[in-house]
């Protein structure tokens, strides 16, 4: 498809899942910089809000990774989050989306996943999209925004029809769900699918509609090879060095 996301070489793009998260704490500068040491094509990261609506990088609902299993990101204002002990951040603490974009948007492609949860009010969902679109402006072909929450993507499209929006599906979805989403939401730039879901027929359908195809999370050699054989546009991995090695080895697929 015609897109600034796709390299001229036509190779599958390798994105580091929350950075090189098998080697450093996910969604930290250490993980991002470690991933960039492997000449990756892009970084995938996750956005949530602090209690006072600062967009920060964090994946899980709770703060169990830093010793607070009964607390959530949005239990704290950003100033409070900065005082919590986030390992492997060199004293920097939790990273904001603004810092991430300022420091990495010129270094590689970015896939920003908006973590909108069912337990949050819709106003919080919308606030995340507002902040992300504003911080990513002006429209940048090297930045994609994704979510498992389809209404959030519909809202984002209303805010900025030029934004590249990717719909994430999970293991309970089927090819029929992909087709329905295509029919109802032609504005979508593409889909991010669990590696178990796509097959040649589904890829052909998405190609016919000129949609971008990403797959996650490809960590084993078998999953990486499957993605490469299918010819997906983007492969998301915790072990980007392995994915790059297999992609660039002509005899691996």
pLDDT of residue 91: 76
Residue 4 has pLDDT above 60, yes or no: no
Lowest mean pLDDT among 6-15, 44-53, 137-146, 191-200: 6-15
Q: Is the peptide bond before 138 cis (omega within 30 degrees of 0)?
A: yes
Q: In the chain, helix, strand, coil percent, each to 5?
A: 35, 20, 45
Q: Residue 105: is its pLDDT beyond 90?
A: yes
CB 63 within 8 A of CB 71: yes
The predicted structure's pLDDT at residue 151: 96
Question: Is pLDDT at 250 greater than 80 in this prediction?
Answer: no
The 10 Å CB-count burial string (b at 16+, else e) for 42-55 is bbbbbbbbbeeebb
Residues 198 and 235: beta-carbon distance below 8 Å: no
Domain boundaries, the chain: 13-59+95-248
Q: Where are the alpha helices (DSSP H) in the chain?
A: 29-36, 78-81, 97-104, 122-136, 150-159, 175-184, 200-208, 221-230, 240-248
pLDDT score at 170: 96
3 pLDDT band, cuts 50/70/90, is very low
89-102 in b/e burial notation, b at 16+ Cβ within 10 A? beeebbbbbeebbe
Whether 110 has a pLDDT exceeding 90, the answer reads yes
- Distance from C-alpha of 55 to C-alpha of 200, rounded to nearest angstrom: 38
pLDDT bucket at 167, cuts 50 / 70 / 90: very high
58-97: pLDDT as tens digits: 998 889 888 888 999 999 999 999 988 877 677 788 999 9
Class of domain 13-59+95-248: alpha beta
Instruction: Find how far residue 1's CA is from the centre of its chain.
Output: 20
Higher pLDDT, 88 or 201: 201
Over the stretch 10-58, which tens digit does the pLDDT of each residue have?
799 999 999 999 999 999 999 999 999 999 999 999 999 999 999 999 9
What is the pLDDT averaged over residues 225-241?
97
Residue 1 has pLDDT above 50, yes or no: no
Indicate the range of 2-11, 61-70, 102-111, 129-138 predicted with least confidence. Answer: 2-11
pLDDT of res. 5: 54
For residue 212, report the phi and psi dihedrals to the nearest 5 degrees: -75, 140
Tokens matching residue 244 = 């790059």
**pLDDT of the residue at 87:** 73
pLDDT of 67 reads 87
Q: Is pLDDT of 117 > 90?
A: no
Position with higher pLDDT, 230 vs 9: 230
């Amino acid at each position: 498809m015609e897109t600034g996301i796709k390299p001229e070489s036509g190779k599958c793009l390798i994105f580091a899942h929350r950075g090189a998260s098998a080697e450093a704490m996910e969604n930290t500068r250490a993980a991002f910089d470690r991933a960039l040491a492997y000449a990756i094509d892009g970084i995938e990261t996750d956005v949530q809000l602090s209690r006072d609506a600062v967009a920060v990088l964090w994946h899980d609902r709770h703060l169990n990774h830093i010793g607070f299993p009964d607390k959530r990101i949005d239990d704290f204002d950003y100033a409070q989050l900065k005082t919590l002990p986030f390992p492997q951040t060199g004293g920097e603490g939790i990273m904001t989306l603004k810092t991430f974009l300022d420091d990495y948007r010129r270094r590689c492609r970015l896939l920003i996943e908006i973590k909108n949860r069912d337990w949050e009010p819709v106003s919080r969902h919308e606030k995340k999209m507002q902040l992300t679109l504003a911080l990513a402006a002006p429209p940048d072909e090297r930045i994609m925004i994704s979510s498992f929450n389809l209404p959030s993507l519909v809202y984002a499209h209303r805010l900025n029809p030029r934004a590249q929006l990717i719909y994430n599906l999970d293991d309970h979805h089927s090819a029929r769900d992909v087709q329905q989403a295509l029919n109802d939401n032609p504005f979508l730039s593409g889909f991010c699918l669990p590696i178990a879901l796509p097959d040649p027929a589904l890829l052909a359908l998405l190609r016919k509609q000129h949609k971008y195809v990403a797959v996650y999370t490809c960590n084993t050699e078998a999953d990486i090879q499957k993605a490469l054989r299918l010819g997906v546009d983007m492969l998301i991995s915790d072990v980007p060095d392995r994915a790059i090695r297999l992609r660039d080895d002509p005899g691996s697929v």
